[in-house]
Structure 1
Amino acid sequence: MSTEIGTESLTHLDAKGNAHMVDVGNKQITERSATARALVEMKPETLAKVIAGGLPKGDVLATVRIAGIQAAKKTPDLIPLCHPLMLTKITLDIEPINESQIEIRCTCKLSGKTGVEMEALTGASVAALTLYDMCKAVDKGITIKETGLLTKTGGKSGNWNIDQEGSK
């Protein structure tokens, strides 16, 4: 089984195609960061209640923020081949972008031997799921969309941002 796609190799597969955890022992420690986003769409009335704090479950945005931070810290417990990391910073920015959409951005940082993309993606994803959970009693049609990596810095592969790939 090939472990290469184009000129890139799949680092989580060995020569036989078996999954394994990558050995990062010989990699250099560098400053690394990643930002991921999730876009959540809901009825305008629901978003207005979220912003005003008018939902029965309490402060939705505070709960969403804490859930995203907690999830980023627990990423290796959820994603089988992720390394446990000593994250030095996790931020969750939650902003309405119009009357029916709210954007969640999770940024993770550390000095280490492996990147934090999965931590940022997990934080944004779980924050979005928590937003759904907190609001589902009043709006079951909430959708989570456009979850993805926006930027990453540091490491052997250097810096990357979504603008290099073009809009999806």
Structure 2
Amino acid sequence: MPEQTVSEQGTPELTHFVDGLPRMVDVTGKVATTRTASAEAWVRLPPEARAALLAGTNPKGDPLVVARLGGLAGSKRTAELILLCHPIPVTGADVQVTLEDGGVRVEATVRTTAPTGVEMEALTAATVAALNVYDMLKAASKAIEITDVRLLSKTGGKSGDYQAPAR
């Protein structure tokens, strides 16, 4: 269950807002635990983009390798992009970028030992990797779509484990 405070009237209060103003939640008193999160994103390729990827004729280089590196870098820069996200030590990250029937599938897994979760780092890694696929193949087609970005799983922390339903 997500952390939530309750007012004297018994109604839930927003944790990231005090008196209507945004704030970063103070996690000073929380215990650092091992946490892992996995996320995925899909890059839907029109036929001409898929053909360019398969033929290896992309003038910018291998989109899948560049996407993997972009996802790894994105996992470490999440707090710079997500405004109320805590900067946490990323102790491990893995980004897999594979060509499948439905397009390019990105799966990112990020690990930390911190007092707060690592879901945003995994989601950012997957999304940044997908954006790199688009960037590398946009000369072949502007109709590329990034879809189905979602958290697959998380472990650790007060809220416990989570596993997304299979699709």
Q: Does 1:40 align with 2:43?
A: yes
Deviation at 1:61, TM superposition (A): 1.1
> Could you say what secondary structure the match of 1:50 adopts?
helix
Q: How does 1:19-58 map to 2 (within 5 A)?
A: 19-58=22-61
- Aligned-residue identity in percent: 44
> Which residue number corresponds to residue 71 of structure 1?
74
Give TM-score, length-normalised by structure 1.
Answer: 0.87
* 8 Å contact kept, 1:94–1:103: yes
* 8 Å contact kept, 1:38–1:144: yes
Give TM-score, length-normalised by structure 2.
Answer: 0.87
Distance 2:104 2:28 in 1: 39
> Which residue number corresponds to residue 82 of structure 1?
85
Could you list the runs of 5+ residues in structure 1 that have no partner in the other structure?
none
Could you list the runs of 5+ residues in structure 2 that have no partner in the other structure?
none
> Could you say what secondary structure the match of 2:131 adopts?
helix
Aligned length: 159
Distance 1:52 1:89 in 2: 33
Distance 2:31 2:66 in 1: 36
1:88-139: CA deviation from partner (whole Å, max 9, x where unpaired)? 11110112220x5111011100111010111111111111111101000011
* 8 Å contact kept, 1:53–1:60: no
1:6-48: CA deviation from partner (whole Å, max 9, x where unpaired)? x86542222x232100111111111101111111101234224
Distance 1:57 1:122 in 2: 23
Q: Does 1:113 align with 2:115?
A: yes
